[in-house]
Amino acid sequence: MSLPDTLLIGTTDLQTVPGIVVTDVSGLRSPVRRRGDSYVVPGRTGQVGVGKVVDAYAFTVPIAVLPDDGSGATPASAQARRAQMLANLDAVAALMPSGLVTLKRRLSTASSYVEHVAAGEYVDGLAAALLNAETGETELQFVNLDGCWYDTTTTATITSGTSTVAGTVDTRNMVITFGGAATLTNTTLGVHLQVSAGTVIDVQAGTSSAGLDKIVAWGGDSQDALFALRPGSNVLTGSGSVAYKAAWS
């Protein structure tokens, strides 16, 4: 049985490389990690918690490297099979960027799969161990720099009122469009963003199409983001439409 769960390096599915079989996809579904420390107050039980954001984390994708060629055939001689296995490993190596890359994961749904993306970085894992003379295995190690996975396209556009936000992690990946001077408040999180004129604000990048000086005030987010949404029910007041990408663990 073939399942769709896999990892794409840029736009290339690992499993389309000749002879590569992803043997474990559990790393694609790692729980998020958060950074920051709570505080110990003398005489006070426990610790004083502070708001934390998700942190980058490392995950691995174990693969087997078979001696199959692009057509699925296996060379006749043992040496040719060894050479094909090494060539397949080189093909994987060619996929691995030296710098940053967009990682895309596919996870099974009932009838298909969903895709999520994250900024990533390849770390290690091209030193294959031989299972036998012509078959290798290794663990490709990556870092999810975003700390979570985002929908590949805008998940939804929401405005004033009560909306159900998709995802499993708070998201700050959104573009907010203001038609004019307005204040948008997420009363669920207690964050607000006020602008003096129409503008399009990329919260994640911290940019404003009409200039950042159109931002009059913002606040309430524990990490000083311009705005934020929480998975589940969110109540927005004021004007402005929020096109967000849901964040997933």
Partner 1 sequence: MSAVTAWLFAADGTTMLRRLDTARDLGFTDAGLSSEAEFRIPLSDAADLTAGRFVKLRYADGFRAGILLGAEQVDVSTDGRWLSFRQSREMRPGLLWDGIVMPQSYPAYGVRRRVAEDRWWGFMDPSFDDSGWSAPGSATRLVDYVRYPSFPQGLTDVDPNACWVSLSDGALSINESTWFRGHNINIASAGIYRLHLCSDDTADWYLDDELILQVKGDGNTLSQATTIDQYLAVGPHVLAVKVTNENGVAGELVNEIVYSITTLVDDGNGGLKAGTVVARSAASTVLICTTTMGEPGVTRAKALLDLVNEAKVRATTHPNGVSKLTPTFTGTLDSAGVAFTDLGEFSLPILTTRYDEAFLQLAEDVVDVDINVSTLQLNVWVRRGSDKRTTVAMMPASNATSLSTTKDLARLTHMFARTADGVLVETVDAAAEAAYGRVEGGQSVGAVRSLRTANNLNLAALAASSVPTVEFDAQPIGGAYTTWGMGDTVAVTNHRGGTLAAARVLGIRVDGRDDEATVTPELVEDRS
46 lies in the site for partner 1, by CB under 8 A: no
CB nearer partner 1, residue 48 or residue 127: 48
Question: Which of residues 40, 76, 110, 127 is near partner 1 by CB under 8 A?
Answer: 40
Percentage helix, strand, coil for the chain under 3-state DSSP, each rounded to 5: 10, 45, 45
Residues 172-191 as x/- pattern, contact with partner 1 by CB under 8 A: --------------------
Q: How many Cα atoms sit within 13 Å of 154 on the Cβ side? A: 11
Question: Which of residues 1, 43, 112, 153 is near partner 1 by CB under 8 A?
Answer: 43
Residues 133-162 as x/- pattern, contact with partner 1 by CB under 8 A: ------------------------------
Number of residues this chain uses to bind partner 1 (CB under 8 A): 27
Question: Which of residues 2, 42, 77, 99 is near partner 1 by CB under 8 A?
Answer: 42
In whole angstroms, the minimum distance from the beta carbon of 52 to partner 1 comes to 7
219 lies in the site for partner 1, by CB under 8 A: yes
224 lies in the site for partner 1, by CB under 8 A: yes
Cα→Cα distances 119→122, 125, 126, 199, Å: 11, 19, 21, 26
Question: Which of residues 1, 2, 37, 77 is near partner 1 by CB under 8 A?
Answer: 37
Using CB atoms within 10 A of its CB, is residue 157 exposed (0-12), middle (13-18) or buried (19+)? middle
Decide: helix, strand or coil at residue 136.
strand
206 lies in the site for partner 1, by CB under 8 A: yes
Q: How many Cα atoms sit within 13 Å of 226 on the Cβ side? A: 23
94 lies in the site for partner 1, by CB under 8 A: no
Question: Which of residues 10, 31, 36, 179 is near partner 1 by CB under 8 A?
Answer: 36
Rounded Cα–Cα distance for residues 24 and 65 (Å): 13
Rounded Cα–Cα distance for residues 11 and 102 (Å): 8
Question: Which of residues 124, 213, 233, 237 is near partner 1 by CB under 8 A?
Answer: 213
- Alpha carbon dihedral 114, 117, 122, 123, in 10-degree steps, equals -90
Q: Which of these ranges, 103-111, 132-140, 216-224, 232-240, lies near partner 1 under the rule CB under 8 A?
A: 216-224
DSSP for 171-238, written as a single string: B--EEEEESSSEEEEETTTTEEEEESS-EEEETTTTEETT-GGGEEEEE--TT--S--B-SEEEEEEE
With beta carbons less than 8 A apart as the criterion, state whether 144 and 57 touch: yes
51 lies in the site for partner 1, by CB under 8 A: yes
In whole angstroms, the minimum distance from the beta carbon of 34 to partner 1 comes to 10
> For binding to partner 1 (CB under 8 A), which residues are involved?
35-37, 39-44, 48, 50-53, 206-207, 211-213, 215, 218-224
